[in-house]
Structures are given as C-alpha cells and as structure tokens.
Structure 1
Amino acid sequence: MSARPQEFDAKRRRQVVTPEGVPLQVVLATRGSRLMALILDYTIINVTLLVLALVLLLIGVNLGRMDSLETGGGEFLVVLFFIGLFLLFNGYFIFFEMGPRGATPGKRMVGVRVAARPQGNAGERLTAEAIIARNLIRQIEIFLPISFFQMAGDGGTGSAWIAGSLWFAVFMLFPFLNRDALRAGDVIAGTWVVEAPRRKLDDALSLKGTEVQDAAPAYRFGPEELTVYGEYELQSLERVLRSDDEKTIAAVHQAIVRKIGWQAGSGDERAFLEAFYTALRAKLEGDMRFGQRKADKFAEVEHGGPPLR
C-alpha cells in the first residue's frame, strides 16, 4: 500500500534539459492541487472585489453623491468599480505569474507554479507572452459559458443553457484527457504547472555558503564570474540544490565552471555550487536595490523590478 503514492508521483515526474544541457527532474502538479489553487485565487479575487465595492459605497455615502445626477459622482464610482472588476479578473493571474515565483498566491499556498513546457526535451524560459496567452484563454474556458447561463435566465433550460453546459464540461474535462494535465491555455501557451514545495533553503544555503567561503578562499567569485548569469539561472541552480541529485549537481558544476572559465577539481561540487548560489543571489539582490535587473544570461540588464525572494 505504501508504494502507491510513489507510483503516482513517478507518473507525474518529467525530465527537462536546461540551456546548459543539464537534465532536471520536475514533478507535475496534480489536478486536485490545481483546482484548489484556482478556488483559493478566486476566493481572494472575490473578497478583494467585495472590499472594493464596500469602500466605494462608503465613499459615495459620505460624499452624498451616490444619487446625484448633476455632479455624476455616483456614475464615476461605478466606473471605478468596473475598472477594478476588469483588472482583478484579467490582471490578477498575469501580474503574479509574471513575477519571479511564477505563481499566484493560491498556487503558492498549494505549492505549485507555472513553468514553460519543454519543446522536445529542451527546457525553455517562461515568457510574458506565454503567461498572457494562458490567462486570456481562461476567459473562453470559464466566463464564456457563464454568459450562456445568464442568457438562459432562471429557468435553467433551453439551447443557451445546454450550450453553456457542454462548453464548460469540455474545457473542465480537458486536463483529464492528456497525460500532463494541461488545460487549453497551457496547450496554446506552451506551459504546464509543476510542484514547487516551499522549503527553508535560503538560510541553509547562506550559512553553508559562508562556511565554504571561510574554509576555502578559492570559492570567492568576482563580478566578471557572476554577471554571466541572471534570475532564471539562479532559480535553476536552486532547484538543482534542492533535488540533491549527485549526477545533476556534478553536471551543473561542470557547466558553471566551464562558463565562468574556472579550473576546478571534483569531489567538492555541492560546496562549490552552494557558494556560487550565495554569491550570485547576493549580487542580483544588490543590483535590484539600485533598480537593475537581469532576467537571464541572454538578457541585458533592465532597470526596475521587485527584489528577489
């Protein structure tokens, strides 16, 4: 009986290859966890919308303009409400998934995130275009059938109700019809949702990195070594260290050493990577304090952006 969870976990495990040619293991999120994340996100959206409506209502009552036809104050507050409605339902997912975590608050609570689906076996970087595409499709998946239900009225019968029900059923069942649990938006955007459990890694790495640098002065990196990588590579390195797979760690060690032009021996790969992770993270966070951001090794330094988390 104890082997059953491991068996299902193995079915959701996939291997992707980073741009450096290093294989990484990822575990696809379950359909249940994705549904729970969606429920949590829409709960947050609706609570925020309710708070916005109450605030605007209180403002209108206090100003005494809710029923004023001369000043148009009531109409202005209604316009603000619909602007907030549009931004919440359309911008919420896009805003959070474009962040460095690639996850909305609901996804973070459940422990999953959005990632770029590899083309063939090669890994890809999650782009803004993919995030926008996967979330715009949600309008077709969810809100279009709702409009059919509204057209049907309270009776719950008729062609509009049948069309809405069939439309909704097709898109809701779509993740069950493919092995990667992809919804239609994932198929079009080239994304999938993977597990990203929260772990207390940062403090441990910072501590170990400090010990490694104190014990081995050779593991000190200058700006020329650290500027070759960005946030995407930092996140990939973090996943490698979390996986604790010796073969992957050795392959990543070789790729980084080759990239930065070092001549490092074998046997101390994890200590090297922990030191490099700590130094790279400190540099990227320091740059962001001055408004500079580097998305990945291919990108130029951009100005602005939130600090790394």
Structure 2
Amino acid sequence: MSANILPHLAHRAKRRREVITPEGIALSFTVASRGARAGALILDLVLMFVIGIGVTLLLIWIGGGLFDSGSQNIGGASEFIAVFWTLFWFLLWNGYFMVMEMGPRGATFGKRAAGIRVAARDGGRLTPEAVVARNLLRDIELFLPLIFFLVAPSGEAGLAGIAAAAWFLVFVLFPFFNRDALRAGDLIAGTWVVEAPRVKLADTLSTEGAAREGASTLTGAAYRFGDAELSIYGEYELQTLERVLRDGQPEALESVHAAICRKIGWDPGAGDERAFLEAFYAQLRAKLEGEMRFGKRKADKFS
C-alpha cells in the first residue's frame, strides 16, 4: 500500500511552491498537474460546444418558424439570426474563460471539476488584466495550431508549412519545458494554475480553533475585534486569510498571525495562532458582508 502511495506523494511534493505575497506573508501552493489542466480544458470545450449546439438548434427552429409563416422579411430575419449566432459564438469562445476566471474562484467550470484554479504567481490579487492577457494567447497556443495541423497534411504548405509547424509546436509544447507547467499566456500574464483545496472553510471553522464569537477551544481565550481593527482589511485580505486557513501550513499561520498583530497593534503571544486567525476571519467576513448589504464594498486595505 505504502509503495503505491509514496511515489504519488513525492510527485506532488515536487509541485509544491512557496510564495511571499506583497504583504510579506508566506503562502504555499501546489502547481496543478498537466493532466488536470488538460482534463479541465476538455470539460470546458465540451460544455462550450454543448451550449453552442443548443443555441444553434434554437436559432434553426426560430428560422424554420419564420419560413413556415411566410413572412415578407425572411431575408432580413435570416441576416439577423446569422449575425446573432456569429456574435454569440465570438462572445462564448472568448468571454467564457475570461468571465469565469475573473470570478472569486478564479476558475472555469472545468477547472472547478478538476480542483484547480488560476492564481497570480506573486501571491497577489489576480487582476482582470492578467486574466485577459493569458486568455488572448489561447488561440495562438492551442486553436490555431490545431487548425494548422488538420490542414497541413495536404502537403501544399511546403517549407513555409514546416516552419509554421515548428513555430506552433513551441507554443503547444511550452508547458512541458518548464517545471511549473506554464503556458506562454501564463508567462506573459504572471499567472499559474494551482490546486484548489476542496475542504470547505465553514466545516473547518466549526470543528477547529475559534468559534465565530472568538472563543478558543484550545486556550479559552476570547478574541473580539473592534470596528477600527477590522476596518483595516478588505475582501482581498479576507480571501488570502481563507487560503491560509484552508491550507493549514503552520509556517503560514504564524506569518499571517504576526502580520495581522503588527497591523492592528495586538500582542496575544504565540501558541494559539489558528484560533486567533479563525476568529479574525469570521468577524472580518461578518463585517464585510454586513457592509455589502448597504452597498458598501472594501476591495482591499488600500481602498
């Protein structure tokens, strides 16, 4: 049994990376495997094609109804349907990945199913600019080479075709020539794809450390934070703290605990870091959610 598990654990350990965030906090990430990324892409493409086929059949049905009704504006209606289909497919093809990866999870449906997500390589916020940059290169990295290799066997491309094939292969095989499995788009955008913990934070908070009110089950200490202390941080810091609690790395917990204590002026001592952070997380989240109900949002500590 152990002989089968240990190689897997060793391979996963090779994909472990530690990043120092702009706030000076050490975070651990596990780089997603190439197989997981390929599986996520296939799931996303299948989903996109299913949606595309469904909309196409709907438009065909609508167009058929117009012909059957004997409408005098069949030509104009047909042009409108054709334009609508073209625009829809363009938005689906280019917008699906961007919109999903700009969301709070940083992942498409395929990535969620595979348990992976997009993250900034410096440990900071995943910006819309980075998401757009990494996805704009997708056609060059994958779809254009796929079309080319389907057409190239005709033999009409000659030496230019061979040169183009070599150029496209550089992009297609790029993830296999670096230890972090980065696409060219990842390299330009400063992103990578990492494993997303499947543990729900709510379950963790209910079974370990501090409760929502701030009482530690380990030491009995009560952690209650005032509005001024909680107002220092925003949604980005809340998400960072959530990742740290999910991963549960002792070094990261200690580092984040020290950073927050310096910022809010507390000195609770060592040994109860997780309880402190869970209490701070729960109370900060409650505060931010309460403000959002009144239309107030604090993106990060700088806003």
TM-score calculated relative to the size of structure 1: 0.85
Aligned counterpart for 1:76 among listed residues 65, 73, 80: 80
| Map of 1:306 onto structure 2 | none
Show CA shifts across 1:149-189 (max 9, x none).
Answer: 5765xx63321765664444322211001111101101111
| Map of 2:214 onto structure 1 | 212
Counterpart CA distance in 2 for 1:184 and 1:219 is: 46
Counterpart CA distance in 1 for 2:277 and 2:155 is: 62
| Map of 2:252 onto structure 1 | 248
Q: Which stretch shows the higher mean deviation, 16-25 or 204-213?
A: 204-213
Count how many residue pairs are aligned between Structure 1 and Structure 2.
293
Per the TM alignment, residue 283 of structure 1 is displaced from its structure 2 partner at its CA by 2.2
| Map of 2:154 onto structure 1 | 156
Structure 1 stretches lacking a partner, 5+ long: 301-309
| Map of 2:241 onto structure 1 | 237
Change (3 A) 1:66 1:240: farther
Change (3 A) 1:4 1:142: same
Is 1:102 the counterpart of 2:106? The answer is yes
What SS does structure 2 have at the residue aligned with 1:25?
Answer: strand
Q: Which stretch shows the higher mean deviation, 192-201 or 212-221?
A: 212-221
AA in 2 matched with 1:44: L
Show CA shifts across 1:109-162 (max 9, x none).
Answer: 1011111112xxxx332111111000001121123234535765xx63321765
Is 1:52 the counterpart of 2:24? The answer is no
| Map of 2:291 onto structure 1 | 287
Counterpart CA distance in 2 for 1:214 and 1:61 is: 67
Structure 2 stretches lacking a partner, 5+ long: none
After superposition, where does 1:111-126 map in structure 2 within 5 Å?
111-118=115-122, 123-126=123-126
The question of whether the paired residues in 2 share the 8 Å contact of 1:221 and 1:276 is answered with yes
Counterpart CA distance in 1 for 2:150 and 2:71 is: 28
Per the TM alignment, residue 245 of structure 1 is displaced from its structure 2 partner at its CA by 2.4
Per the TM alignment, residue 52 of structure 1 is displaced from its structure 2 partner at its CA by 1.1
Per the TM alignment, residue 204 of structure 1 is displaced from its structure 2 partner at its CA by 3.3
Aligned counterpart for 2:36 among listed residues 29, 33, 36: 33
The question of whether the paired residues in 2 share the 8 Å contact of 1:149 and 1:164 is answered with no
| Map of 1:307 onto structure 2 | none
AA in 2 matched with 1:82: T
Counterpart CA distance in 2 for 1:67 and 1:81 is: 20
The question of whether the paired residues in 1 share the 8 Å contact of 2:15 and 2:30 is answered with yes
The question of whether the paired residues in 2 share the 8 Å contact of 1:33 and 1:110 is answered with yes
TM-score calculated relative to the size of structure 2: 0.87
Counterpart CA distance in 2 for 1:50 and 1:288 is: 38
Change (3 A) 1:50 1:110: same
The question of whether the paired residues in 2 share the 8 Å contact of 1:174 and 1:184 is answered with yes
Q: Which stretch shows the higher mean deviation, 226-235 or 64-73?
A: 64-73
Counterpart CA distance in 2 for 1:31 and 1:13 is: 14
Counterpart CA distance in 2 for 1:59 and 1:163 is: 46
AA in 2 matched with 1:88: L
What SS does structure 2 have at the residue aligned with 1:210?
Answer: coil
What SS does structure 1 have at the residue aligned with 2:22?
Answer: coil
Q: Which stretch shows the higher mean deviation, 28-37 or 166-175?
A: 166-175
Show CA shifts across 1:237-264 (max 9, x none).
Answer: 1121122222321221111111122232
Change (3 A) 1:149 1:81: farther
Q: Could you say what the CA RMSD is over the residues aligned between the two structures, in angstroms?
A: 2.5
Counterpart CA distance in 2 for 1:174 and 1:202 is: 38
Q: Which stretch shows the higher mean deviation, 128-137 or 46-55?
A: 46-55
Per the TM alignment, residue 11 of structure 1 is displaced from its structure 2 partner at its CA by 1.1
Counterpart CA distance in 2 for 1:211 and 1:292 is: 23
Q: Percent identity?
A: 57
| Map of 1:303 onto structure 2 | none
Is 1:202 the counterpart of 2:189? The answer is no
AA in 2 matched with 1:47: V
Counterpart CA distance in 2 for 1:67 and 1:10 is: 66
What SS does structure 2 have at the residue aligned with 1:194?
Answer: strand
Per the TM alignment, residue 296 of structure 1 is displaced from its structure 2 partner at its CA by 2.0
Per the TM alignment, residue 280 of structure 1 is displaced from its structure 2 partner at its CA by 1.5
